[in-house]
Amino acid sequence: MVVESFRLDGRVAVVTGAGRGIGAGIARGLAEAGAHVAVSARTESDLQAVAGDVEAHGRTALVVPGDLSDRETMVSLVASTVERFGRLDVLVNNVGGTGPAAFLDVSERSFERAFSWNVTTAFNMTQAAVPHLLDSDAAAVVNISSAAGRHASRGFTAYGTAKAALIQLTRHLAAELAPRIRVNSIAPGAIATEALAGILTEDLEEAMVAGTPLRRLGMVDDVAAAAVYLCSPASSYVTGQVLPVDGGTQASILDLGLPDLGPSVR
């Protein structure tokens, strides 16, 4: 049955960056669909709250706090998950993010950090997970990219370029890991999270809503539902794809008001 194909009963998932926002929402969604979930981020108290929600759905949660910019931490996360549950079926690479900045204010270090935090983390996590995912009969990897990786916008040179690279990594991994492991990406648009709230003004929110065909900001559950689809047998014939969850936008709607560059002053 079609509805049953969305179930993840008995499956085991790892979700990175799962303490808050989209990552936490995805962890809850996967648990609601039947999966046991290992959650990881820096702040253990946040993870414990998410774990409580996972367990409220009758599933088992594993809390693994740590710095996910470190490859050894990622390897340990995978090992701890397999040790606890005896298997690994789903990996959601959600950890990432970089604040906006005008191009001339972006340092080489911060540009490289954006790549490391948004792309290299997904590379390392997937590489650590693949030997175990190969033992699953329905393995799936989902990378959380961004509409900023699809549409150009001032202020997002580092973040947007990194998220575009993550989309391309998704396509390459889908080719490399087929037919045993499916790899897809979600590109959320303006989602009402704490991260967005940090840069949102009332005027900016009104402009973003007006520029969105569905006339609202996205909710975390919108992304979580897409993740459940891509992680479940419902999408068993889907790989190497980018699923926009952006209200139908065809261009960036996040205008930070950065001015045109003027003549150089020497």
SS3 100: coil
- Dist. CA 187–CA 168, nearest whole Å: 12
CA distance 77 to 153: 35
Alpha-carbon distance of 57 to 9, in angstroms, equals 11
| Catalytic residue (choose from 25, 159, 181, 243) | 159
Give the tokens for residue 131: 């030997």
- For the chain, counts of helices (H) and of strands (E): 9, 7
Q: Determine how many CB atoms are found less than 10 A away from the CB of residue 67.
A: 11
Residue 85 CB: number of other CB atoms within 10 A?
Answer: 19
Distances (CA, A) of 204 to 99, 201, 218: 16, 5, 15
- Relative to beta strand 181-188, strand 242-245 is parallel
Annotated catalytic residue 159: yes
Residues with active-site annotation: 159
